[in-house]
Amino acid sequence: MSYQKLIKDNVKIAFDAIGDIGENITFTNKNVTDYDFATQTITSSTSAPITVKAVVESQYRTNDDTPRIECNLLIDSDKLDSKIIDNYDSIVMRNKTWKINKFEDNNYIINLTIGRES
């Protein structure tokens, strides 16, 4: 058995074992299709939302000019293709909308950093 398969199997076991520690998050997106300069309104559409299970690794406040709450999430790479994350600009978690700040994928775990104003 290769190490890559061993690691992927163990990640799957870990995500299956976390139970209610894992939270469902929904990726959402708003595509602006038109802007009316006269009324200053936008016309937009949304992409189909995607829901996956994630684990909140950490949550912290920033003390920048605008106080923010940021979270680091862990997602099983086999449950979500990280290439599609670029198509989404926010997620819904705990009934609040969070902006996607950055993500990294090592082919085992996706590390997703999200934030919102506090």
Q: How confident is the model at residue 56 (pLDDT cuts 50, 70, 90)?
A: very high
Range of lowest pLDDT (8-12, 65-69, 72-76, 99-103) = 65-69
Per-residue pLDDT tens for 15-41?
888 888 899 999 988 777 788 888 888
Determine how β-strand 90-93 pairs with β-strand 23-28.
antiparallel
pTM: 0.79
Per-residue pLDDT tens for 77-104?
999 988 888 888 899 999 999 999 999 9
Which tokens go with 84?
A: 């599609």
Which tokens go with 3?
A: 């190490």
Return the ∠ at Cα 97 (arms to 94 and 75), rounded to 5°. 65
How close are the terminal C-alpha atoms of the chain, in Å? 47
Which tokens go with 109?
A: 């775990």
Compute the half-sphere exposure of residue 84: CA atoms within 13 Å on the CB side of its CA: 15
Q: What percent of the chain has pLDDT above 90?
A: 42
pLDDT of residue 41: 82
